[in-house]
Structure formats: C-alpha cells, structure tokens
Structure 1
Amino acid sequence: MISETDEAKGTVIAEGRAEYDARLDDAISRVMIVADSDRIVQAALKLAKDLNDLILIRAQRGPGRIPNEDVHRLRAAEQDFANVVRLELAHASLR
C-alpha cells in the first residue's frame, strides 16, 4: 500500500490496478466535466473513495473476508450517488 499524500492519492499495489485507476480517474474526470452540480461530483468522489477502501480491505484480508459493514458502506455510497444524480437531474429539468 502506498499512502495518500498532499501530492498524490494512495494506491493499493495489486495486479491490474493501474488500468483500474486509469479508468476510475477517467470516469471521475467525466463526471466533473458534465455534472453541473458539486453535489454529484462529491457523491462520485465518495463512491470512488469507498470503492478504493473496499479494494484495500480485500487486499489485506483476502477473498471472502470483507466485513459486512464495509460492503454495506459501499452499497450506501452507490445508492447515495444514484439518489443525488436523480434529484439533481430532476431539479435541473425544472430550470
């Protein structure tokens, strides 16, 4: 594990991780470009962080050993992102 610093995000050393990080960075960049809402961007960043946390936990503990509360936290972040996008899009359509 390489820890997060002011200059760089932390990363889990895992096979295939560089491609995953590039795809995630690309997705977050696209959200930042197209989202007309700081709330959407913040929800996307939280989802990405929670996903990275889950990857770290799996790397540390191994397959099938991720605590339920960590899985639930990720699922809640996914749901929060979807809800924020839905509400922001509904609000935008009223403008």
Structure 2
Amino acid sequence: MIVCVCNRVSDRDIHRLVAEGASTFEEVQMATGAATCCGCCETCARETFEDAQHQHHRVHANWIPIHPAPAVTVHAAVAREGDPRHDFVMA
C-alpha cells in the first residue's frame, strides 16, 4: 500500500526500515521523505511506523543475545585465586 503519494513510500518501505534498525519516525522521514511534503499522509505514516515497530519487537521478543564468556587462562586463575597446590603444609 502506498502511504506517501508525494514521495512514493509504501508500507513495505517503512517496515523494511524498521527491520533494518530505524527506531524513530524521524529516521523513516529522513530515509524516505514520507510526511515531509504536503503532510496528508503523516497520520497513516506514523501508524504504519508504530505497527512496524510492534511487529518487529514481537518477532525479536524471545531473542536473547549470547555473548561468549571471556577465556580464563590457568595463569590468570592462579594469579587471581592463588595456587591451591601451595595451600597445604607438610609436617
């Protein structure tokens, strides 16, 4: 569906921009020119943007970023904790 006739912006264009990381309506305006000429489409363009945000967040709501734990070397662990081989006393 064409949202902005002046700049030939479709709802798909807006959804694509949100999926690519656009987080504000102003970013969509800068990228497409939507709602920057006559202003007749601003309400529809904003609603489309909000709908795209909700759909995008629903898709990624269960996504949890996984960051690998830093590798701990034996030397770093010994330096931090002390060498357990030296904790005993010989009689």
TM-score (norm 2): 0.35
Q: Give the number of the structure whose residues are more often helix, by fraction.
A: 1
Q: Give the number of the structure whose residues are more often strand, by fraction.
A: 2
TM-score (norm 1): 0.34
